[in-house]
Amino acid sequence: MAVHPNDHVNLGQSSNDVIPAAIHVSACLALHNDLLPALERLCAALADRAAGLSDIVKTGRTHLMDALPLRLDQEMGAWCTQIKKSIQRIASGMQHLRQLPLGGTAVGTGVTTHPDFGQRVAVLLSRETGIDYVINTDLFEGIATQDAAVSMSGQLKTLAVSLMKISNDLRWMNSGPLAGLGEITLPVLQPGSSIMPGKVNPVIPEAVAMVCA
């Protein structure tokens, strides 16, 4: 029996529904397996560190100028809340990414494919990944747009802005130690520059800021 590339190998499939589905699946995997667990760990670390700082009062600032006092745990608590809200926004956006256009084939009508193809694939993908994938109720919308991915891009930009803000707060408070604010001292993680061996840079906030950019 001859194997035909269209009639057998590519039976009932089209790049028009498979590629958008692959974008959604890969994004969900990266978010579910990597980003969201990392954000949960970051939030827990911030909350744990803040818990022991409730007796430290510091200067609050607006426009980098002295404003009213607040406790250090309150400031760090705000950072933790920023991360929590990003987690919630990303998790909410994943509800749309979990909707796959599989089975729509070329234009959304499902021409040439088995009517249960998309649903069967969604069940298998859910079983393999632990992520509850479903088939988009409107396959035409699922194939014709990338709105869910664009929306998630916006949530990731929001997260980047939050992390940039936290990194800059840490850099400002750690600045000095003599001519800067010098309110906190970040852990020393690597030696200073070749010309200034005593200078130690805040490399973790700097690295986070680069990723955010």
For residue 99, give its domain range.
5-151
Asked whether residue 128 carries a pLDDT value surpassing 80, the answer given is yes
Task: Please state the domain count of the chain.
Answer: 1
Amino acid 116: pLDDT = 95
- Which ranges of the chain does DSSP label H, i.e. alpha helix? 15-30, 36-50, 72-97, 117-129, 139-144, 147-174, 203-212
193 a catalytic residue: yes
> Looking at the domain assignment, is residue 168 inside a domain?
no
CA atoms of 122 and 28, how far apart (whole Å)? 13
Tens-place pLDDT, residues 169-213: 999 999 998 899 999 999 999 878 778 888 889 999 999 999 999
> Looking at the domain assignment, is residue 156 inside a domain?
no
> Looking at the domain assignment, is residue 22 inside a domain?
yes
CATH of the domain at 136: 1.20.200.10
Query: Average pLDDT for residues 98-111, to the nearest whole number?
Result: 95
Q: Which of 15, 26, 153, 193 is catalytic?
A: 193
Predicted structure pTM score: 0.90
> Looking at the domain assignment, is residue 142 inside a domain?
yes
Tens-place pLDDT, residues 16-34: 999 999 999 999 999 999 9
Q: Which of 4, 26, 63, 92 is catalytic?
A: 63
Task: Give the three-class secondary structure for 30.
Answer: helix
